[in-house]
Structure 1
């Protein structure tokens, strides 16, 4: 017998809860806070009515309630302010993501170009060192040829006349 009573109470509470969830119009002429306790309800300030939120439309039509007088979720924010705030925050987020992507791409490009410059500087230095080595080798080879044929320039240009 106790089990049946508990079962009846549970079903009764479920029936009441489902009636509360679907009947927003029963909360008309009360307060905004009472109406908006149910997420499916929309409060209209002009006529103090609690209405079912028009799920088929994203925004409630003006024939139902004007946006500046409509409240949903929070009583102190009207739909116009909510839409403007969400739009601005969304725009700022999108703009921030775009800026971050541009900065990351530029940073990556600068990093790769700096690596290329370092590589070019290193290659130029290696070329200069090899050229200097070739210059020294050529000078020593020319000096040997001059010695062989007696054309080697000595330190004293008047040494020829000493003989």
Structure 2
């Protein structure tokens, strides 16, 4: 078996065993644990423990939050017994907000840093172009000076007879 497919197969098997490990009627399994403790109730992930009524009920998946008639959010426990549902929702909302803000800040910083880097690169290239242009102008001036020296040496410094045609 390929080493890349092995984790996928293991994940699929784990998911299937988790799905089949649940009882055939999870709604009834939750209500059967009414006389037990919160820890016993929450062993099944489909159950919700209400401290006010000390009852274990099936989590209402059709509504995202459990209705107040079923159990107030302050008294509802899901997943862990020591944190109420309201605190869990607030904590997850704050963490989600922090992640979104961090993502936006990182995105802004990356774009700004990229622009800063490109500006720095452009400045470097412009400086190099100016340096090359200056050297070229210096060489051109030296060549002109040398040509003028040669013209004076051989007496060609006077009026160019072809200048009137140019």
TM-score class, shorter-chain normalisation, is 0.7 to 0.9
Change (3 A) 1:150 1:95: closer
Give, in whole Å, the separation in 1 of the partners of 2:79 and 2:137: 79
Instruction: Show the counterpart of 1:124.
Output: 130
Instruction: Show the counterpart of 1:60.
Output: 66
Give, in whole Å, the separation in 1 of the partners of 2:41 and 2:142: 96
What TM-score do you get using the length of structure 2 for normalisation? 0.72
Name stretches of at least 5 consecutive residues in structure 2 with no aligned partner: 1-19, 159-166
The structure whose Rg is larger is 1
In the alignment, is residue 92 of structure 1 matched against residue 98 of structure 2? yes
Alpha-carbon distance, 1:93 to partner: 1.5
Instruction: Show the counterpart of 1:40.
Output: 46
In the alignment, is residue 51 of structure 1 matched against residue 68 of structure 2? no
Change (3 A) 1:135 1:65: same
Give, in whole Å, the separation in 1 of the partners of 2:156 and 2:31: 121
Question: Which of 82, 90, 108 lines up with 1:76 in the alignment?
Answer: 82
Q: Which has the higher helix share?
A: 1
Alpha-carbon distance, 1:98 to partner: 1.9
In the alignment, is residue 22 of structure 1 matched against residue 22 of structure 2? no
Tell me the SS of whatever aligns to 2:150.
Answer: helix
What is the CA deviation profile of residues 20-65 of structure 1, one whole-angstrom value per residue up to 9, with x for unaligned ones?
x332222223211111111111111111111111110000011111
Tell me the SS of whatever aligns to 1:43.
Answer: strand
Give, in whole Å, the separation in 2 of the partners of 1:46 and 1:29: 13
Query: Aligned-pair RMSD on alpha carbons?
Result: 2.2
What is the number of equivalent residue pairs in this alignment?
135
In the alignment, is residue 112 of structure 1 matched against residue 118 of structure 2? yes
Alpha-carbon distance, 1:140 to partner: 2.4
Tell me the SS of whatever aligns to 1:57.
Answer: coil
